[in-house]
Structure 1
Amino acid sequence: MRTNFTLILFLFITFAGYAQKDQIKDAQSQFKNGNLKGALTILEKSEYLIVNAEYEDQSDFYDLKADVFRGLADKNIETAANLTAAVGAYKELIRAETLSGKLKYIVKARDGIKQIKDDFQTSASKDLKADKYADAARKMYSLYEVDKTDTINLYLSTSYFMTVKDYDSALKNYKELQSINYTGVGMEYYAVNKKSNVEEFFSSPIDRDTYVKAGSHEKPRNVRATSKKTEIYRNLAYIYSEKGNLNAAENLYKQMIVFNPKFIEPYLDLAYLNLDKKKELSDKMSVLGTSPSDMETYDKLKVQMDADVKEAISYLEKANAIEPKNEKVSDLLLKLYRSMDLIVEYNALKARI
């Protein structure tokens, strides 16, 4: 019985190997004839066979798959998605050849990955110069997907989405930045483009130095970047606030105070947040009638509204203690003191400024 099972398994593996080779040949034929979608369909249907194939067959399979994806991208068919998929195929090829020790396409694969990264970077730079921030944001995210060790590309993508107020895309990116605990601390690399005379950012010293050696860039410099954690939290809180999720925004502002208690902006943001709550309550109060039940509701809302104003005042007082000469804080604090008839506090602050 065991002998029969071994024979069956051997025959299955042998058949699968022949089937895999035939599928690759069929896909290659479709590719050479320009039928890229047909080639991709064959490859995707036969991919389950590749797991147990010999490394040499895996290498042929992923090389062809990368060529198909790049061919689709060259025809402007879902360019970013297909280039990203091509990089995925190249990485599988490199893995297979590294394990086998038979290096057939590995140089081509590494060059292909570098070329795709350069293409994304160049295209995004052109978009930025043309103020096409949304396009640049999508390309920087694709660049991040190609190489997730370059986390600054995810951060830049998020920043560009914020510029065009695409808060849904920015929110998705910010959550990813949080999940990888991105801080932005490290070194940033710059060089001046000789043609445009504009200083450009590079994600690595190798990329920057390559352009400098090629003669297209000059004046390379390195800048030690400070933490972007406060900026990330503040923008994320702003998005939540814009979407009406005030509780989520409030929690983020409070977290900012914990890791940077001397930064006054989250105190101001929390004050504004409580004033937004006050406005919502005020709007509800304005439509109430004079019935006993409405009057009771009015009184309850008034108590809550006053509590929101007092909480806003408490945050502004903390901000004022940090920066006593900040006019924005002082002016708003004076207005709220006056609205709550806090005469002693109003006069004391007025005397100090």
Structure 2
Amino acid sequence: MKKLLTIMLVFAITSLSYAQKKEIREIEKALKDSNFADAKAAASSAEALIGSMDDKSKAKFYLLKAQALYANGAGTNAEIDDAITSLDNLKDLESKMGKLKYTQEANEMSKNMVNSFLTKANDAFTNKNYSVAAKRFEKVYRMSPKDTLYLYYAASSAVTEPDYDTALEYYIELKNMGYDGAEMNYYATNVETGVEESFGDKVSRDLSVKAKLHKSPRDQRSPSKTAEIVKNIALIYVSQGDNEKALGAMADAREENPDDIGLLLSEANVYLKMGNREKFRELMEEATEKDPNNAELQYNLGVLAAEGGNSEAAIKYYEKAVAINPNYVDAYTNIAVVILEGEAKIVEEMNGLGTSKADNIKYDELKEKRIEVYHSAIPYLEKALELKNTNIDAARTLMNIYSAIGEMDKFKAMKAKVESMQASANGN
């Protein structure tokens, strides 16, 4: 009887082993014919037997299952997620076994999957299909977790869509992993053209310099993306009406990086979005103290002062901006705008006067004052137009001012300039 039980047990094991091999052969056969539906079905059947498979059979099964689910890139997102898991299971198993029979093939498959999805992600982004791009960049990251840049691309794509819930999920993941995003960039000047060019890596750059094709090599680290990530997290919270979480996100980041001017500006931007203009102004003032030679900060403070009706402070900030950057076109334009805003009050007062002798005298005084305003604005408008000769708003304003103050030659010249600009804009 004992002998009979032994024979039956051996028979059962043999039958089970045969069934396992049969199911695995079915997957292989379907894959050979590119019949992925049958391959998936066979993989599903084989999976029911995985508990009794030996390690060698399991490793092969994991590879075949991944190939079936991936289906040369035609698998669904869920199927490809399962394919990635199956390849990870294979690599873990063979690592424990100490025999990497299928791992190299799995690595090659993973590489092909990454390249395929990266191409699709880039194509989707180029075609402004940001939702699809986000999912595909995220998939690339899941397949190659060391390439955290692709999760950042996924977040950027999602926020551009906009799909704020998905973007928030990705940004929080990036923040929690301490993603910085700063990269070293390699430059050298082309000997023939004299133009500085960038290289993909240091080795290529150094070889070109050694070959005397380039000279003056330099390395430059790109700015950290931490401030942008935290800012976007905070702004998404603001858009969702969760201001406390927004400020909490900024506070955490500022605490870790108290001297990061980017984070300070991001926090200021969050307060601006929340409508707290006073806090925005305070933080911008703090930013200018930390970075006094930043023309853009001075300009933004000028905009804020102008919106608050403080013309004198606005001009002061704009003048600081152009003192730092003499080519800051918008600052020159805005100084002129602030100056010309004073004209409205003068005109209103002129229109409210009567016809008495005293009123006539007052009218003439106000008229002269109005002309003084025009003359004060002219240099800034002329400078703005000099720096940007397509600035049609500056040109139109100058044309009207020249007409108002009776400088007809300048009026005619500016009128011709405006007409030329309009013709160019219309493609004539």
TM-score normalised by the shorter chain: which range applies?
A: 0.5 to 0.7
Deviates more, 1:143-152 or 1:161-170: 161-170
1:142 maps onto 2:110 in alignment: no
Aligned to 1:245: 242
Where in structure 1 are there 5+ consecutive unaligned residues? 1-5, 191-198, 210-218, 277-308, 339-345
Aligned to 1:63: 63
Aligned to 2:407: none
Cα–Cα, structure 1 residues 99 and 13, in superposed 2: closer, same or farther, change >3 Å?
Answer: farther
Q: 1:63-115: CA deviations, max 9, x gaps?
A: 22122123263xx342x554454343333333334444555433322221222
CA–CA separation in structure 1 for the residues paired with 2:137 and 2:199 = 12
CA–CA separation in structure 1 for the residues paired with 2:239 and 2:170 = 17
1:53 maps onto 2:53 in alignment: yes
TM-score norm. by structure 2 comes to: 0.54
Aligned to 1:328: 300
Aligned to 1:168: 165
Counterpart residue type for residue 152 of structure 1:
L
Counterpart residue type for residue 68 of structure 2:
V
Cα–Cα, structure 1 residues 253 and 18, in superposed 2: closer, same or farther, change >3 Å?
Answer: same
CA–CA separation in structure 2 for the residues paired with 1:323 and 1:101 = 57
Aligned to 1:92: 89
Counterpart residue type for residue 286 of structure 2:
K
Counterpart residue type for residue 147 of structure 1:
S
CA–CA separation in structure 1 for the residues paired with 2:63 and 2:313 = 75
Secondary structure of the corresponding residue to residue 112 of structure 2: helix
Contact 1:237–1:249 (CA under 8 A) maintained in structure 2: yes
Name which one, 1 or 2, has greater alpha-carbon Rg: 2
Per-residue deviation, 1:312: 5.1
Q: Which runs of 4+ in 1 moved over 6 A?
A: 6-15, 199-202, 346-353
Contact 1:320–1:329 (CA under 8 A) maintained in structure 2: no
Q: 1:222-265: CA deviations, max 9, x gaps?
A: 86343211111011111111122111112223334432446241
Q: Structure with the greater relative contact order (CA < 8 A, sep ≥ 6): 1 or 2?
A: 1
Aligned to 1:37: 37
Aligned to 2:406: none
CA–CA separation in structure 2 for the residues paired with 1:253 and 1:123 = 34
Cα–Cα, structure 1 residues 118 and 267, in superposed 2: closer, same or farther, change >3 Å?
Answer: closer
Indicate which of 231, 236, 251 corresponds to 1:254.
251
Q: 1:187-215: CA deviations, max 9, x gaps?
A: 4699xxxxxxxx9998xx7xx99xxxxxx
Cα–Cα, structure 1 residues 350 and 45, in superposed 2: closer, same or farther, change >3 Å?
Answer: same
Contact 1:59–1:105 (CA under 8 A) maintained in structure 2: yes
Indicate which of 245, 267, 286 corresponds to 1:318.
286
CA–CA separation in structure 2 for the residues paired with 1:65 and 1:274 = 51
Per-residue deviation, 1:146: 0.2
Cα–Cα, structure 1 residues 116 and 316, in superposed 2: closer, same or farther, change >3 Å?
Answer: closer
Q: % of aligned pairs identical?
A: 27
Aligned to 2:268: 268
1:181 maps onto 2:149 in alignment: no
Secondary structure of the corresponding residue to residue 275 of structure 2: helix
Indicate which of 93, 97, 118 corresponds to 2:115.
118
Q: 1:10-31: CA deviations, max 9, x gaps?
A: 9987775454334324444555
Contact 2:28–2:64 (CA under 8 A) maintained in structure 1: yes
Cα–Cα, structure 1 residues 9 and 311, in superposed 2: closer, same or farther, change >3 Å?
Answer: farther
CA–CA separation in structure 1 for the residues paired with 2:16 and 2:248 = 56
Cα–Cα, structure 1 residues 231 and 120, in superposed 2: closer, same or farther, change >3 Å?
Answer: same
CA–CA separation in structure 1 for the residues paired with 2:147 and 2:308 = 47
Cα–Cα, structure 1 residues 7 and 144, in superposed 2: closer, same or farther, change >3 Å?
Answer: farther
After superposition, residues 288-307 of structure 1 pair within 5 angstroms as none
Cα–Cα, structure 1 residues 336 and 38, in superposed 2: closer, same or farther, change >3 Å?
Answer: same
CA–CA separation in structure 2 for the residues paired with 1:101 and 1:224 = 40
Deviates more, 1:100-109 or 1:137-146: 100-109
Secondary structure of the corresponding residue to residue 275 of structure 1: coil
Where in structure 2 are there 5+ consecutive unaligned residues? 1-5, 188-196, 205-213, 321-428
Cα–Cα, structure 1 residues 223 and 23, in superposed 2: closer, same or farther, change >3 Å?
Answer: farther
Contact 2:185–2:198 (CA under 8 A) maintained in structure 1: no
TM-score norm. by structure 1 comes to: 0.64
RMSD: 4.4
Contact 2:271–2:280 (CA under 8 A) maintained in structure 1: yes
Contact 2:66–2:82 (CA under 8 A) maintained in structure 1: yes
CA–CA separation in structure 1 for the residues paired with 2:247 and 2:46 = 51
Cα–Cα, structure 1 residues 253 and 48, in superposed 2: closer, same or farther, change >3 Å?
Answer: same
